[in-house]
Structures are given as structure tokens and as C-alpha cells.
A and B are shown apart, each in its own frame.
Chain A
Amino acid sequence: MGDSQAAILVIDLGLTNCKAVVFSADGEILGRASAPYTIYYPAPGYVEQDPEEWWQAAASATCSLWETDPGLASRIECVSVTGHMHALVCLDKEGKPLANALVLGDRRSAGAAAEMVAELELPAIYQITGARMDASMPAAKIRWLKENAPEIYKNTWLFTGCKDAIRHQMTGDRLTDPIDACAMSLYDIQARSWSPELTHSAGVALDDLPEVHPPTELAGSLQETPANALGLKPGMPVVVGGGDDVEVLGNGLMAPGFSLEHLGTTGSILTCAGLPIYDPEMALELYPHAEPGLWVLGGSITAAGSALAWAAETLGYDSLDDALTVLSASSPEADGSLVFLPHLLGERSPNWEPRVRGAWIGLTATHTRDDMMQAAFEGVAYALKSMLERIEALVGEQEQITVVHRSNDSNDWLGMRANIFERPLGLLRTPEPTALGAMALAAVGIGLYGDLHEAVRAVTGLERLVQPETHAQSIYRQRYSVYQGVGAALLPVWTAGSP
């Protein structure tokens, strides 16, 4: 246990805003602020963000912390950055972005991804990178740039990602960590180096890629201009950090047998594995854990919270919180013929079918909007369960699923998920598991803890468990099989030629 006065600043770049969170050495939140930025949709299928806005948001959120608590800045001993993964940032020799970043949902490189799959074949790519190749991958985005934006491609000095671009702005380093390297789909997860096959197919020179270093290593120190922008002392150590899957650490996942649920705009189920377990069906993705020797296996759905927010708005509820009240009046004994498929942005795990769409199936004139909303909550939970099922098929039963628990969370919604997952839900004490994971890396980096196991054990914990109920479980199990059946039946409607 380190210095009790020491504090760590985490910059957490999400898809819609940047959070600045200050943690004490034992993981308590000392200050929290956020600043938004824009998602640009310049053309159909194009999804962009401006790295300059990331930086401005990071500075603005951080400075507003010091305004609230002027004494806090002087306690900061290290900075750790985390951010959304799969974005591609092109920096020039001066370290300036040459264009907007192509972020997660950008589909322009679907053709380039398909070409790479044709060249290398999907199973081979999956074996190297642990993930499928698709339009979201920076590898495909680089290939697209080479063909379609040759000026940017030629002038790029460093192809990098979201958190690495922001940390570069702080220290001038050219580093990344294995998690974000993996997210580029250019990295060989077993050899722990850039893959010759993938980099060749993407058309990127090794010189133009960052060096991969452990996430707990110090990347450098804060330079004067960025230090001023952030209101911190120049020379402050900055840790390499990790992509936002460091959420795994914030959930305390340091041993096999435990999974986490991420339920934001997107939804994920991730587990910690002791061995590199490849999914023969390539339904799940595999990548290195921040702790050497451990692995992370899991999958995500593209519309989870966004599907619920959409359903609530479309059905005319005032807000998602308002819509959540339908669950308190419902019971799993109610007529369960109505099914919602949440594939509003196509399907990723476990079926990987971008053409599939959302649906309400089994509607009758007696269904109310509350029934439809309830079906939407169930449908999102079933989509998450389908990934949990796949994880358990590969690595065995999970003892517990940790979830983020916000103070205004609905107990009915937590209970429904426990019953649908048929596993206890562990409600995290921290409301910010991603930032907490990034904090743990910094805490090890500056020696507050001897290693990551020790740090994670010290900073994470559960508030309580939500246990599933036997009767409700069995009803939801039946309905889950209906959900799977209609999903499978509907699939050919979307895959047999597009109008």
C-alpha cells in the first residue's frame, strides 16, 4: 500500500464524451468531471471524430476538476489515459492529426476488410489477431486510406488509436499497449508483435506503427504545453495505459471463472481466461489481458443501451428511466409470446451478420407499449445471454457476472438480467470500472502496488450480489429459446439479397 495522499488522474475517452476522474490510491473517486464532443456522420456509413476535440474535452474536463477542488491537482502523481478502441488516427511528423479519426461504427472500409479476408482468409486472421476482420478494424481503414485518400496515407507518420493519440499529445511518445495493438487487427497476439501478414495486407510499414509496451510501464513525462492545458506540473509521469477494455481490471477480473457485463451504448460480456482460448466458430474475440499470462475472451452487441433508448423514445416514454418503470409492474408469468430482437445496427457476436435488423415479433392488438418495452429489455438481456452462453460453452460455467450499478438503477432490471443470465450479478462498488482499471495500471506504474493482482484486489470490490430466482429463471429460459428460434427464422429474410 502506497502513499495515502497520492492521487491518480484518469482521462477516459468514451464515444460521446471525455471523463476526467481522480482516484485515491485505494480506488476511491476524489473528483469526476466530463466534457462532450461531437460524432460526425459526413456521409452514409462514415462515422468520425476530431482528435483535437478529444484533447480539448480532456483539458476542459480536467481543469473543471481543479476548479471544483483546487487542492486536488497537487496530489496527482501519475496520469493514465484510456479510450474507445478501433478508432484510426493519422498523425503527421509534428504529431498533428491529418484528418478526423475514423471511429468504431465507420463502415467505409467494408470493401477493404472483405479484400483482406479474401487475401488471408478469416480463420487465419482470427488465429493471428483473435478477432474477425471487419470494417471497424484500423487495419481495413488503413487499406481504405491507401486506396481512397493517398495524400493522407502518404503523409502519415504514425497510425494510432484514440488513447495513444492523446497520450502522444502529452508526452510525445510513439507507444501503444497490447490491448489497443490488438484492436487494430494488425497484432499477433501469440507472438506479441505486429503481424507481417496483416501489416502487409493492410499496406502499413512497421515504422508507421507505434511500439507495443506493457500497459503498466511509464510512457514518458508530461511536456510543458500539455501540462499547462491540463493544469498539471510538467514532468508528471504518464503510464502507457490500455484501451477501454481495461474495464476488465476495474471489474476485478484477474482469474478465470468470472465475467463482466458492459451495458452502455453497446453491450459486452467478457471473461478472464488462463489460456488463449480461440472460438472455433469465431463468435467471440480473444485478446491479451493487461496481466501477462491471462487472456480476455468475449463478445459485444452493437446496440444495447442505444436499443433501449430508441425503444423508449419510439414508444413515447419521457425517458429510459420512465420506461424502466414498466418492469416493476411486470412479472415473468405474464404472456411471453412477444419477442424483441435488438439488432438495430446489425448483429456482431455471436452471429456476425451486419445485414440483420431489429424486430418485434408476435404482436397482437392486445399488446400495450409497456409490453413492447418490456420485450425490449428482455431482448437486450437475451442478446447478452447469447454471448454468455458461448463463453460458458468454451471456458465453463461462470461463477458471477459483475455489473455496473448506478444509484438510480432499477432493481427490476438487475433482477431480470440475473434471472435471464441464470447467474448471480455482482454489483460493483465503483461507478467507473473503466477509469478504475486505467487507474490500477498507473498505480502499478508508479509503484503504489507491487503488481496488478495486488492493485486490482485493493481497489475493486462488490457492493452486493443479486441472486437469480429459480421460478423466474425457468420461465425466462423458455422465452430465451423462443427468442433464439425467431431470430434464426428471421435471418434468411435479411441475408437473401438486399433491397
Chain B
Amino acid sequence: MQFIGIDVGTLSTKGCLVAVDGRVLCRAAISHETQSPRPGWVEQDPEAVWWAETCEIIRRLLEHPDADTSSIAGLGVSGMFPALALVDEGGQPLRPALLYSDNRAARELAAFNERFGLILTGDALPPKLAWLRANEPDIFSQARYFLSSHNYVGFRLTGAYYLDYKVADSMGGLLDRTTLKWREDVADWAGIDVAHLPRLCSESEIAGEVTQSAAEETGLKAGTPLVVGSGDSPLTIISAGAIERGDALLSLGTSGWMGVLPYRLAEYYENPTLLHQGAPYLLEAYVLAVGSALRWFRDQFAVGEQAVARRLGTSAYKMLDDEAAKVPPGSDGLIVLPYFLGGREPEIPLPETATMTGLTLSHTAAHVYRALLESYGYVVRWSLERLEERGIPVKRIVATGGGASSKLWRQILSDIIGQPLHYHADTDPCLANAYLVGYALGSWDSLEGIRDWLPPSVVAEPSENAHLIYDKVYHRFLALQLMHSK
């Protein structure tokens, strides 16, 4: 048996072919871009990008010498979300899809929040639908299917019109979490018929089978089963082995966030009403500029290091890490509030800008860099404390993303939170998609088994001494944050 996992990301489509024992037989990836025809608009072509690239990836995987088309047991697809592709009765996209980051419907968003008493952000779909209805009425009136990235690919593969609860829930008020049905009042406001919205499914169900025409385009056998799957981040969390209640994934990418499981994942799959309690995972410690704050530092403070790094063929970040490692924990009193692009905690007002304080004449640029690394640790600790208060102690944290490759940063984070921090160099949602197919098909009966597919994690153990130092700075960090939130 072999399994295929696909992930349609914002900047690339990726796929892998996995053997029944978890060995990745081969991988393939194709980069793509987003289009921004006007300021604030972010679009991608669903057919030319999502579907065509998926077909190409599957064909490449199947061309591999170890691939055996006849033994492909099934496939799973995840993708960035919530995207919005409008498709007509005949299955043809009517216009480029609007991505989650598309900001054109700001005015409609304000009206929507006002009407329903919500505090949704730019991700929400109903305001975008309202914008399309007002500005592109001809296109809007022909729309029969409304699809995000992963289920668009699923729709093209199987003809099935479905959506998992998690992504449905992320669309911004369209899903009623208690009844697990689409909300008519919200659909009405957006100008769509709930009958035109996809069938809601659990992530671990089988969505359908590959059609004859899709088989021809991809090289798969017709009838190959497709698992429902979900968005890219839920599958990334699974691929870090976060399966049990209290497991967490800490993503150190351009932005920083932590996904925390308030219930066992299998429990949520059986009972999707747990969405109401935050399942499958709570989005915590969300800071828009984390990796991008380091990039900002590199560009503004480290012009010299960048030039040297280019000459030596090393990374400027590695050089900055080496310098920051010489600065003691707590950065000699220098504290950063890392909200360079504002905070994103819906319930708690956070500062809208960053602050760098505690500055003295003895501080160097390396202090500032270390304080930046530390600042996100304080945000994570604050989040962990609030989770604990809500009765969700976080027991196992796996760091991932580009930033997690910094050994120094992982140690700093572990020291600040006072617990071990695991690290997998590669958390690949494609692998989790492949595993989920086997689970849906009954090839294995536990989700925990994915950990056997993963290489052993590298663990940063917290140092007692450093934790005590950080503990004092943390309280000052909180005071500072409170001061600037007013």
C-alpha cells in the first residue's frame, strides 16, 4: 500500500508519496505566486494554479521508480484557508479566487461585524461575498459552488462538493457550531443560498473517489479514495505529532502562532460539536510579525552582518544568533514588545506597535536581537498561563517553521516557558494527509501512530537558572504590555 498527500500552500503546491511503513518514497513541489491586481487584493487562479499543479505533482510522484499506481490506497489534500473560489453550474471557475489575506472587503467587514455583533478579522468570507455581489453582480449571480483551496482540488478530483468542519468554522460566522449547520441568516446577509454551500463532513471521512476524467489528468486509478482532510495548519499540527489533549505545535514562521489541542484529535473527529470548545485546536500566541521582525532587524540593524554573510556564504541569521548567544538571558534588561504588525488576540487588546525599552548605553545590536528572540517567548508563556487557567495544561510542544531551526531560539523559548521544547526539522502537512487517508480507510486505528512515522525530535531542556532570570523579566514584560494596550 502507498499513500499520497498533497498540500496547496500560498506560495507552493507540494506532495509526497508514502509507503505503508511511513517511509517517504518521494516528494515534489511547484512554487507559485499570488496576484495583487489592486492594493489589498490577493488572488490566485484555482484552475491554473491549484488544480494544474496538483495534477503535475501527482504525475511526478507516480513517475518515481518506487511508485506503484495500482497500490495507491488513497490520497488526502490540505490547503491554505479560507480561500474563496466561485465556480459555475458547469464546474468552471468564474474568476480568480480571493485568498485569506485579501483585504478588499474592509468596509463590508465592518458592517458585517456590526450586524452580527462579531469581531472577525479580514479572513472572514461573508464580507468578501457581499463585496463580490455589489461589485461583480454578473459573476456573483452565476456562482453555484463556493470552494476553498483543498476542497476545490477535491471537487476536481472526485466531483464531490464537501467541506470539513474546521475550515467551515474558519469562514467567519457561516457555520453554527452548536447545530453544525450552515447559518441561514449569515448566508442571507452575504446573498447566497445555503443550499449552494458544500456538504459538511468530518475530516477523517472519505469524501469520494477519483473520477475517470481526473484519473486521466493525474495518472491515478479511477476510484481511488480521497479523504476529506482540512486546511494546511490542522494537518501541519498533526504532522508534528500533536494528537493528544494538551499537545501543541509552535510555529515560528513569518508570523508566530501556537496550535493547542483542547481534546484528543480522534475525539473531535467523532464529535465535531467540540468545535464549540475550540477543537480541533486553539490558535494561541498569534503574533503577526515574528520571523518578519527578525528579518526587519536584519535589514535595519545588521547591514554589515548581511554583507559579511554573503561573502562567507553563510546566513546572516546564523551570525546574529552567534552574537546574541554571547548576551546573557534577559538581554541585560532590554525588553521588546514584538507587535511590529500589531497583536492578534481577539479577546484581549494588545499594543498596535512594537516597543523596545530598557535601553542603556551598554546595550549593543546583539542585545536587541536577543531581546527580539526572547520577546516571543514571553508571548508564548503568557498564552500557556492563560490556557492553564482555562484548564488546558499544555504538556508537549513541538516547534516548527523556519525560525525553529535556530538552536539558540529554541533554548531561549524553552528556558522562558520552563518546559522542554521539541523540534522536528520537517513538519510536512503532506505526510499527515497521507497518514489520515490510512486512518480513514481503517489501515490503522489510531492517530497517535503518526509519531512512528516521524523522526525522533530534538529536545531543548529548560535551564533552571535561566528560567528564574526570565521569570523576572516576564513580569516586567506583562506590565509593559498592559501599559501599551490602553
Contact = CB atoms under 8 A, between A and B. Distances in A.
Interface string B281-302: 0000000010011001000111
B476 A493 contact: yes
A363 B353 contact: yes
B354 A314 contact: no
B299 to A, nearest CB: 8
Interface residues of A, number: 30
A364 interface: yes
A425 to B, nearest CB: 27
B353 A361 contact: yes
Interface in A462-494: 489-490, 492-493
B296 A365 contact: yes
A449 B476 CA distance: 60
Given A357-B358, A363-B355, A364-B353, A316 B365 contact: yes
B479 A496 contact: yes
B211 to A, nearest CB: 45
A493 B304 contact: no
Contact of A315 (B301, B355, B486): B301
A368 B300 contact: yes
Give chain A's interface secondary structure class: mixed
Contact of A492 (B353, B357, B483): B483
Interface in B460-486: 472-473, 475-476, 479-480, 483-484, 486
Contacts of B475: 499
B354 A357 contact: no
A372 interface: yes
A360 B480 CA distance: 13
A362 interface: yes
B278 interface: no
B354 A493 contact: no
B483 A493 contact: yes
Contacts of A492: 479, 483
A490 B480 CA distance: 7
A365 B341 CA distance: 6
Contacts of A360: 355-357, 359
Contacts of B210: none
A126 B355 CA distance: 36
Contact of A365 (B330, B340, B361, B480): B340
Contact of A337 (B300, B353, B357): B353
Given A316-B301, A365-B292, A365-B296, A490 B356 contact: no
Contacts of A303: 361
B1 interface: no
Contacts of A344: 359-361
Most buried by A among B353, B472, B480: B353
Interface in A327-352: 337, 341, 344-345
Interface residues of B, number: 35
A369 B300 contact: yes
A493 B296 CA distance: 26
A314 B475 CA distance: 26
B364 interface: yes
A395 interface: no
Interface in A366-397: 367-369, 372
17 contacts: A310-B361, A314-B368, A315-B301, A316-B303, A357-B357, A359-B356, A359-B358, A360-B357, A362-B354, A363-B353, A363-B355, A364-B341, A368-B300, A492-B479, A493-B479, A499-B333, A499-B476
Most buried by B among A361, A364, A365: A365
Interface in B28-70: none
A365 B472 contact: no
B363 interface: yes
A367 B303 CA distance: 15
Given A368-B300, A369-B301, A493-B479, A314 B364 contact: yes
Nearest to A318: B304
Contacts of A489: 483-484, 486
Given A316-B302, A344-B360, A361-B353, 12 more contacts: A310-B361, A314-B301, A314-B365, A315-B301, A316-B303, A344-B361, A360-B359, A363-B356, A489-B486, A490-B357, A493-B480, A499-B476
B55 to A, nearest CB: 37
A345 B361 contact: yes
A306 interface: yes
A303 B483 CA distance: 25
A14 interface: no
A362 B342 CA distance: 10
Nearest to A365: B340
B77 to A, nearest CB: 33
A361 B336 CA distance: 10
Interface string A100-143: 00000000000000000000000000000000000000000000
A461 interface: no
B353 A306 contact: no
Nearest to B355: A361
Most buried by B among A303, A363, A367, A496: A363
Most buried by A among B302, B356, B365: B356
Nearest to A370: B300
A367 B353 CA distance: 11
Nearest to B365: A314
A372 B359 contact: no
A364 B337 CA distance: 11
A372 B300 contact: yes
B185 to A, nearest CB: 38
Contacts of B333: 357, 499
Contact of A363 (B354, B473, B476): B354
Contacts of B472: 499
Contact of B359 (A316, A357, A499): A357
A358 B360 contact: yes
A368 to B, nearest CB: 6
A365 B301 contact: no
Interface in B260-319: 289, 292-293, 296, 300-304
A372 B300 CA distance: 9
Most buried by B among A341, A345, A372, A499: A499
Given A316-B303, A493-B483, A359 B355 contact: yes
Contacts of B364: 314
B436 to A, nearest CB: 36
Contacts of B357: 341, 357-361, 490, 493
User: What are the 6 tightest A-B residue pairs by CB atom distance, in nearest-first order?
Assistant: A358-B359, A499-B472, A359-B357, A363-B354, A369-B300, A365-B340
Nearest to B288: A365
B133 to A, nearest CB: 33
Nearest to B357: A359
A359 B334 CA distance: 9
Interface in A297-339: 303, 306-307, 310, 314-316, 337
Given A316-B304, A357-B359, A490 B365 contact: no
Nearest to A369: B300
A363 B372 CA distance: 13
Interface string A129-163: 00000000000000000000000000000000000
Interface in B321-377: 330, 333, 340-341, 353-361, 363-365, 368
Given A316-B365, A357-B333, A493-B483, A362 B353 contact: yes
Most buried by A among B302, B354, B357: B357
B476 A364 contact: no
